[in-house]
Each structure stands twice: as structure tokens, then as C-alpha cells.
Amino acid sequence: MAFGYGGAIIARLRTLPCGGPFEPEQVKTCEGRNMSITSDMPELGKIPPEFFDSVIYPRLGAPDPAILIGPRHGVDYGVVRVGDQCMAFSTDPFFIVPAFGFTKAAWFGFHIVFCDVAVSGLVPRYLTIDLNLPPEMTALQLDEMWESVHCEAVKYGISIVTGHTARYAGCNYPMVGGATAIAVGPESDLRGPHLVRSGDAVVITKGPAVEATGLLAVSFPGHFVREGGPEFQREAEDIFFQMSVLDDCAIARAFPGIRTMHDATECGVWGGLHEMASAGGYGLRIDKESIPIQSVIRRTADLFGFDPFCAISEGSLLLIIDPAEAPLLLKEFEGNGITAAVIGEVRPAAEGLKIIAGCAERTLEHPRVDPYWGLADRLAREAG
């Protein structure tokens, strides 16, 4: 999944060595095969699909028939059958930005980890966590951070089963370790792209650019105040606690017609929809004008000059559901204070991926580059 950086973190990361362009090279696998690396890595952010396909995907250790879902584009979790139950796993960095305050930062770090496994349809139950802490972190800061993690775990019925905690030289914010979220349930509750059918409805919650707006507002409050005043900054900062799909997924799990779910993280709504369709091998017809955009998010995108549909959006749940159940699902979301809308339908793969905007139609392409990264870097430079 994807993450946003606070302003001070961006400034620090700019000083670190990054990989540059390189020529394709041959590596030898443990089976003795030659493998060509033909894709470059980005300076920041997720590796591109081509690099994943050529370097990571061909080498996944020993095969095991108990693996029901392994690594693939557009699927946020892996699934293993254990007896008569299934366990879904998702692993992410544990992400802490001190500028947010350690309580708020840990809230976000916890939800980053669990959102990817919540979309499996199984119930999140367990957490394992490795904390590789920077030497400058104090005991009081660790206490505040861990109290926030504990409180969120209690709230969602999640138990922490193992981990590792230490300070190490060379460890820096925001990536202070890693964590694995685990969800459990019967195979009948498991959702995934294999269940999607032509004619199914496509639904979104909260609209686009949730994470981009929330992170920018807490990372660069002065820019928001200067551009729109203190009330605008406060309204944008309130978006921060929308950056989770745990509640959205808990509501959706009650509907047997849910086919698959995906958290729109890096490259936003357009990226998420493209990844879902690629994973399932189906077409989409999306009505852009049906996608709700919260007014403060629209204003943020206009003021800072980015496309909200391509911007990082942790907290925006994309899901596909039996169209007969869609009205009841929207009503349930509304009753829980979550904005949601039907934004399109699944089509046969031969029809491709289409975005309809008024009378115009265009192909949905993956954005590949999320505008948040460049914008956050620019704002950090301006902040000095």
C-alpha cells in the first residue's frame, strides 16, 4: 500500500541516496535460471508493476496448495487455508510521523496496517509488530504511541500476539518497523476478484483524495491557513480520521453480495479501479460525475493544483457488489455517517475500462505517478 510523508520527513528523505536509471542486467536464480531485470525503480513510492513482475513475482519461495490467494496486483492481502478456516495476511511498514503527535501518528499507523486485510471480507483479529525505533525516540513518546495502538486494538477486538521492540542506529522516522495484520474466518466469507460478475455495481465510500487532503492539512497547516484561512485548515485536518476503511469493511461484511473490496491508496481512485479490474480480468464502465467529492477535498485539490482522482486516498473503499444489494448497502453506509455512491458497473473484459464524463468517454489508464509525492516535496521545500 501507499503512505504520505510529513514535511520534515520529505526534506530528510531528499538527502538519502536513491537508485537511478540502470541498464537491464542478468541475475541467476537459485534454480540456476537467468533472469533479466528490465524495469527501473522510482525515486519514492511503490515499485512499478513491471519491476514487481520481473523481480519479485517469479521468486516466491516454495509453492503450497494451502495458499488460496498469493501476491498479485490489485489485491491487498494473501490468504492461507488452515483447517476449516482461512487466514488473510497483509504486511506493511509501521508508519509514524512525529509531527502529527504520537497519538494521532499511531492511530494512522495502526489503520494503515489493518485496512489492507479488512478488505478480504474476513474479520481482523491479530497483529504482529516489529518496532525498529530511532535512537532519539523517548520513553514517553513510545508510551504515548503504544497506548494509541492498544486502544485501537481493543476497539476493534484485535489481539497483539508477538513482536520485537528495540532502538537501532540508522533507523529513522517515518518507517519505524513493520507489522502484519491477520484476519480469520470461513472460506465462505472470503471476498476476492474471482467472485466478480458482469453487471455488478461499483461503489465508493468517502470519495477521492481523502488521504492526500488529510495528510497535507496536518503536515502543512500554514499553507492551508494562508490559502483559505484557519477554518479551512481545521476542516481539512478533520479529514485525517477518515483515513481508514475498517468501519466501512465491517458494514460491508454483513452483505453476502459483496464480491471484492479494495482500499484506494497510491494513485487514488483511478489507480485503485484499474488495479481491481486488472486483478479480476473484467471491464469497467465508470460514471465520473457520480463520484462524490467532499467540498473541502475539492477545494484543497483546486487550491494546490492536483487531480483528486489520481491522489492517494487511504480511507476510500472501492467495492463491487450484486446490484440488487447496492441500495441497502448505501442506506447502511448513510446510517453510519459514511458517504457512498454507486459509480458504475462491471462489464465484460472485451469492453475495456471506460470513464464517462457527460457526453465524453475515455479509457481508464493507471496514473502510475501519484501527484501527492511531488506536491508534498514542493511544500516541504517552500517550508525550508
pLDDT (mean) for 168-196: 95
Three-class DSSP category at 197: coil
Give pLDDT tens digits for 239-278: 999 999 999 999 999 999 999 999 999 899 999 999 999 9
User: 74-83, 92-101, 143-152: lowest mean pLDDT where?
Assistant: 74-83
Q: What is the mean pLDDT of residues 44-72?
A: 87
Spatial CA neighbour of 207 closest among 261, 260, 270, 253? 270
Query: What is the model's pLDDT at position 202?
Result: 98
Rounded Cα distance between 140 and 146, Å, is 10
Neighbours of 70 (CB within 10 A): 13
> CA–CA separation, 184 vs 320, rounded Å?
21
Q: CA triplet 243, 366, 358: central angle to 5 degrees?
A: 90
Q: In this structure, are 340 and 352 located in the same domain?
A: yes
Final residue in a domain of this structure, among 189, 223, 242: 189
Q: Does 201 fall in a domain?
A: yes
Range of the domain at 96: 66-189
Mean pLDDT of 64-80: 88
Q: Please, which pLDDT band fits residue 15 given cuts at 50, 70 and 90?
A: very low
Last residue of a domain, one of 156, 189, 222: 189
**Residue 36 belongs to some domain of the structure:** no
Please, what is the average pLDDT of the chain? Answer: 89
| In-domain check, residue 133 | yes
Q: What is the pLDDT of residue 39?
A: 61
Tell me how far apart the alpha carbons of residues 183 and 117 are, in angstroms, rounded to a whole number.
Answer: 6
Statement to judge: residues 169 and 310 lie in one domain = no
pLDDT band for position 157 (cuts 50, 70, 90): very high
Grid cell locating 279? 486483478
Of residues 21 and 91, which shows the higher confidence score? 91
| Shared domain check, 181 and 199 | no
Judge if 206 and 304 occupy the same domain: yes
Look at residue 72 in the predicted model and tell me its pLDDT: 80
Do 112 and 211 belong together in one domain?
no
Instruction: Give burial (CB, 10 Å; 0-12/13-18/19+) of 375.
Output: middle
- pLDDT for res 269: 98
When pLDDT is cut at 50, 70 and 90, the band that residue 48 belongs to is: confident
Q: Check which CATH number belongs to the domain holding 274 and give it.
A: 3.90.650.10
In the prediction, which pLDDT does 6 show? 38
Is residue 12 pLDDT above 50, yes or no? no
For residue 32, the model assigns a pLDDT of 58
Answer whether 264's CB lies under 8 Å from 176's CB: no
Contact call for residues 174 and 9 (beta carbons, < 8 A): yes
Does residue 224 sit in the same domain as residue 204?
A: yes
Q: How confident is the model at residue 28 (pLDDT cuts 50, 70, 90)?
A: low
Exposure string of 181-217, with b = 16+ CB inside 10 Å and e = fewer, is bbbbbeeebbbbbebbeeebbbbbbbbbbbbbbbbbb
Spatial separation of the C-alpha atoms in residues 95 and 175, rounded to whole Å:
5
Give residue 141's pLDDT.
Answer: 98
Q: Is 336 part of a structural domain of the chain?
A: yes
Please work out, in degrees rounded to the nearest 5, the angle formed at the alpha carbon of residue 91 by the alpha carbons of 88 and 96.
135
Check whether residue 242 and residue 221 sit in a common domain. yes
Compute the average pLDDT of residues 336-360: 97
- Give yes or no for residue 310 having a pLDDT over 70: yes
Residue 22 has pLDDT above 90, yes or no: no
Confidence of residue 17 (pLDDT cuts 50, 70, 90): very low
Judge if 201 and 98 occupy the same domain. no
Closest CA to 306 of 370, 355, 363, 251: 370
What's 98's domain CATH number? 3.30.1330.10
Domain boundary among 161, 189, 217: 189
Which DSSP state fits 185?
A: E
Domain tally, the chain: 2
Residue 213 lies in a domain: yes
Q: What is the 3-state secondary structure (H, E, C) of 27-59?
A: EECCCCCEEEECCCCCCCCCCCHHHHHHHHCCC
Q: Is residue 37 part of a domain?
A: no
CB-CB contact of 59 with 140 (8 Å): no
